[in-house]
Amino acid sequence: MGGNAITLLQNGEEIFPAMLDAIRAGEKTITYAQYFYEDGPVARELAETLAERCRSGVAVSVLLDAFGTLSMPAEYIETLRRSGCQLALFRPLTRTIFRNANNRNHRRILVVDGRVGFTGGSGVSRKWMGNGRTENHWRDTDVRVEGPAVEYLQGAFAENWLEATGIVLGGEGYFPRPLPPKGQVYAQVVRSSPEGGSFGMYTTFLLAMASAQRSILITNPYFVLDDTMADTLTSAVRRGVKVVVLVPGAIDHNLVRQASRARFGRMLRAGVEIHEYAAALLHAKMMVVDGVWSTVGSTNLDNRSFALNDELNLVIYSAALGRRLEQVFADDLRYSRKVDYRGWRARGITDRFLEFLARPLRSLM
C-alpha cells in the first residue's frame, strides 16, 4: 500500500529518543509489545514515560513476552500497573500452557494513537544504547512508520493482545479511519504466527531471494538456513546475483553461531560472500534485494523465527530507502571481517565440536 512515510532508526541513539518522543505525544491510545526487557537507564525511562501517559488518561496496553522479559524488574511492572496501564504477559510459563511455551511472541511493536508506528529488532536494555560500534552493545535497526501501514502494525498487536487477554481492541482510538497519506513509500506489514498456521515470513524471504536479479544483501544475527533457503541463495549466485551476508562475529548464543558457521563452507564454495561484524554485537535483521525491495523487522533466518515464534517485518518498496539501506550495509562492512573458505576450513577442534553439539538442536534455533 502506498502513502507511507518511513524513517530508518539506527541503534539506540536514534531508536529510543524517537520512541520516547512519540509516547510523550500520545493522546488517546498507546500499544506496546516487547520481547526483551531488562534493567538499565533507558528501561526505567521507558517504563516511567508509559506510566506518565497512563496517569494522563491515555489508554496504554503493554504486552510482554513471558520468557523474553523474565529479567524485567518487578518494580517497572508495578509502576505501570499502579499508574493504570493494562499489562499482560504473552504465554506465561505455567503448566497449563506448556504445550506452546516454546512458541514466543518475538514481535516488537509500538503504535501511538493508531497513527505512528515502530517496529524492528530492538529490545530494551542498556546493551541497546549507543551507536552500535561499542563492544558488548547491540547494533540494531528499527523503523518509524506513518501512513496506512500503521493500521496493520496495530492489527498485529491486537491479534496477540486478544490471545493474551481475551480483549478485542477496536474503535477510533486504535484504528482511526481513514489514515491519510503521509509520504510516497509503498510498504507492507508481513506477520507470521506458526502456532496459528501462518508461515508468511518464510514465504516472503524465499520469494524475495528467488526473484533477485542483481543483488541480495542480508544482515541477520541468527543465520541458520534450511536446505531450501540455502539452495535459493546459491541458485541466485549461479544466475549472476551478488549475494553478500553479514552475520555476528560474536553473539549472545554461541551454539547458534556455531550452527550457522557449520554450513558456511557450502555457501562460500558457491560464491556467497560472508562477513562477520566485529565492532559490537550484531542484532539487526535486514535484507535488501536489487536496491528496491527491502525489509526490516524481528525475523531471524532460522527455524525458531520461521516455525515457532510470532514474527513481524515491514517490507518496503522504495529505491530511495533501498539505497539508504545499501549504504548502511556498506558502512557495517567497514567494521567486519570477511570469511574465506580456506580460513573456514582451518577452524579449530573446539569450533568443530560445538558445531557437532549444535546439530541436533537446529530445529529449535
Helix boundaries (H) for 74-218: 74-82, 150-165, 200-211
Polymer length of the chain: 365
Shared-domain flag, residues 237 and 272? yes
Q: What is the pLDDT of residue 144?
A: 98
Domain encompassing residue 315 = 195-364
Q: What is the pLDDT of residue 345?
A: 73
User: Is the residue at 176 inside a domain?
Assistant: yes
Shared-domain flag, residues 230 and 320? yes
Burial tier of 57 (Cβ tally within 10 Å: 0-12, 13-18, 19+): exposed
Shared-domain flag, residues 165 and 243? no
User: Is the residue at 189 inside a domain?
Assistant: no
Shared-domain flag, residues 69 and 167? yes
Shared-domain flag, residues 254 and 350? yes
Q: What is the pLDDT of residue 296?
A: 98
Residues 6+ apart with CB under 8 A from 342: none
- 112 with 28: CB under 8 angstroms? no
User: Is the residue at 332 inside a domain?
Assistant: yes
Give how many domains the chain has, as a whole number. Answer: 2
Q: What is the pLDDT of residue 246?
A: 98
The residue from 153, 184, 215 where one domain ends is 184
Q: pTM of the full predicted structure?
A: 0.92
User: Is the residue at 321 inside a domain?
Assistant: yes
Q: What is the pLDDT of residue 355?
A: 59
Shared-domain flag, residues 274 and 237? yes
User: Is the residue at 155 inside a domain?
Assistant: yes
The residue from 164, 184, 204 where one domain ends is 184
User: Is the residue at 134 inside a domain?
Assistant: yes
CA 9 to chain CA centroid, nearest Å: 13
Q: What is the pLDDT of residue 354?
A: 59
User: Is the residue at 353 inside a domain?
Assistant: yes
Q: What is the pLDDT of residue 365?
A: 46
DSSP string, 207-254: HHHHH-SSEEEEE-S-B---HHHHHHHHHHHHTT-EEEEEEESS-S-H
Question: Coil, helix or strand for 98?
Answer: helix
For the stretch 81-130, pLDDT in tens is: 999 999 999 999 875 555 667 889 999 999 999 999 999 999 999 999 99
Q: What is the pLDDT of residue 253?
A: 60
User: Is the residue at 190 inside a domain?
Assistant: no
- As a whole number of angstroms, the distance between CA 9 and CA 5 comes to 13
Shared-domain flag, residues 217 and 243? yes
CB atoms within 10 A of CB 353: 11
Shared-domain flag, residues 27 and 123? yes
Shared-domain flag, residues 112 and 157? yes
CA geometry: angle at 179 spanning 27 and 146, to 5°? 70
Residue 100: C-alpha distances to residues 105, 259, 364 (Å): 11, 24, 13
Q: What is the pLDDT of residue 269?
A: 93
The residue from 184, 216, 240 where one domain ends is 184
- As a whole number of angstroms, the distance between CA 173 and CA 180 comes to 15
- State the CATH number of the domain containing residue 274: 3.30.870.10
Shared-domain flag, residues 102 and 231? no
Shared-domain flag, residues 295 and 327? yes
Bridging pattern class, strands 59-65 and 29-34: parallel
- 232 with 209: CB under 8 angstroms? yes
CB atoms within 10 A of CB 332: 23
**Which residues of the chain register pLDDT less than 50?**
365
DSSP string, 18-60: HHHHHHHT-SSEEEEEES-B--SHHHHHHHHHHHHHHHTT-EE
Q: What is the pLDDT of residue 135?
A: 87
For the stretch 76-88, pLDDT in tens is: 999 999 999 999 9
Shared-domain flag, residues 332 and 288? yes
- As a whole number of angstroms, the distance between CA 46 and CA 191 comes to 25
